[in-house]
Amino acid sequence: MAGWTKAQYDEAYSFRVERYLKGALVGSIPGIHRPEVRINYHAYSMRPIMVARWQKILPILAPAITPADFVLIIGAGFGWGVRALRQQLGCAAIGTDISTYVQAEKGNDDSAEISAAITAVGLDPTTGRGLEVLIAVRTPGARAQELVLDEDLATQGSRNRVRNALGDNPTFICWEDIVDDDMTDQDILDMIAPILSAAAKKFFIYKPTANRSAQQLATLTGQRVVTTGDSELVIP
């Protein structure tokens, strides 16, 4: 199963950012009427979300993840959830993601995409308000600052590479925001089949939809499901 494209990330994530920056908001300046700068899947907006998410998730997991655990996050994107988990617990954690977009961009910074978003609303990212937004929102350095492997776990070689990178068999496996309504039940079962360790504790982080509730996902997979938002834990 292929990972998400950039278009899918852009559709799933969209954040208005100028309201959080220093200076007057769009619409409050006489004579200026333009859309607010929006960004998509970028560290500026996603890192705080991931930090808050793991702060809510960790207290409800039983058994709990400890600093001694080895955690694999599947569908990790640029690894901001991996970073949030490692910073809060200090445990060994890595991600995997087979998105060609993620793998192509994980070593780059996000200046080009942020600049394009600024240009799209009629600002110049090299001067004035456009430059202010760029400086405030961009993240210097690689977009992925944690290890995110291009591994699908479908072969023994792929599983061995993940084990070697993690340092051991995972004691926890988390599927992060990887299930959506485009996936059939069989797609989901096929995705979770090549597990690395039968002894690992497993759970999904999932945003329920009208088509598939958290309980339905838990029943289908036999795994725990943590719903985003209120971080409710569903046990099959």
Q: Contact at 8 Å (CB) between 36 and 26?
A: yes
Encode pLDDT of 120-147 as tens digits: 999 999 999 999 999 999 999 999 999 9
Residue 194 has pLDDT above 90, yes or no: no
Q: Any idea where the domains of the chain sit in the sequence? A: 1-41+109-141, 47-107+143-236
Q: pLDDT value at position 46? A: 95
Q: pLDDT value at position 65? A: 97
Sign of the dihedral through C-alpha 178, 184, 187, 193 = positive
> Taking the C-alpha atoms of 112, 20, 10 and 78 in order, what is their torsion angle to the nearest 10 degrees?
70
Encode pLDDT of 27-61 as tens digits: 666 666 788 999 999 999 999 999 999 999 999 99
Record the tokens describing residue 119, joined without a space: 């240009």
Does the pTM exceed 0.95?
A: no
Please give the class, per CATH, of domain 47-107+143-236. Answer: alpha beta
Give the pLDDT mean for 70-83.
Answer: 97
Give the pLDDT mean for 199-217.
Answer: 94
Share the mean pLDDT of the chain.
91
Task: Kindly tell me the burial class for residue 226, based on how many C-beta atoms sit within 10 Å of its own C-beta (0-12, 13-18, 19 or more).
Answer: buried
